[in-house]
Structure 1
């Protein structure tokens, strides 16, 4: 009977090692696809490096509509794809769970979008200015998703989450540099 327990224990241990190795390999593959990004914080401003492409095809522009223009719609779609990841619950099981990366930044972008829509509708802000502000917000959000050290920026967003105009000012204090 003890031999059976020993064999079962060894089999479970080997199975665990196999699954662990597969997860490490999957993690390594995912990390290879992401660009290396750094952040530098100077005073109360931040600098993020971005690997995001700025141009979209005509087909992409035609397929997205947004109240601030098709380019903003394309950027918003790219942001949604970048912030939501599907992960396997158990390796080999077809069930997946959806994980939201950097929820403070994502929620802030959604709040700013609603605020700008309301301002444009009430004519307290010109559409061109709203488009310019929201484009910068989306550029920062797309740069921040692949940046590891965004805790101080996220903490500031958390502190100002009730005031969307302050959120816009925080996003304006972020400088985005392209890695290309």
Structure 2
């Protein structure tokens, strides 16, 4: 009798065990990611170098991907009216154990008055955890793309106009 009952609920039991495993794995990985030196822990350091931080609404996607670094993404793809959305961030940590940061790529999005979404990509290169060089690109996510390449001054100009003041280099 009990054997029949076990067979009857076997799928539910397997599903429950799998669900518990996925939940444990998710929170365990999230804890590991939060403790990475170049993860959320490095946000204050990023601010001091005028590098975009990992925002509170972003979740980590690749926890230890050596080639692509680690990626944090917003759960939304499109910004609301009068909002600047930090859509994603890729971090390539330094291979030198003395330093934390090396390269970071960020995407910010803003909805313009005509309803089109403009994206700003910022490419940051950090040398010896102290020197920052940046380049960037702005474009629309829909055709026509209208791509504009930016140097340091151009990046500062766009982040200033978007009121991302902590990113402006002095």
Query: Taking structure 2 as the reference length, what is the TM-score of the superposition?
Result: 0.35
Query: Taking structure 1 as the reference length, what is the TM-score of the superposition?
Result: 0.33
Q: Which has the higher helix share?
A: 1
Which of 1 and 2 has higher RCO (CA within 8 Å, sep 6+)? 1
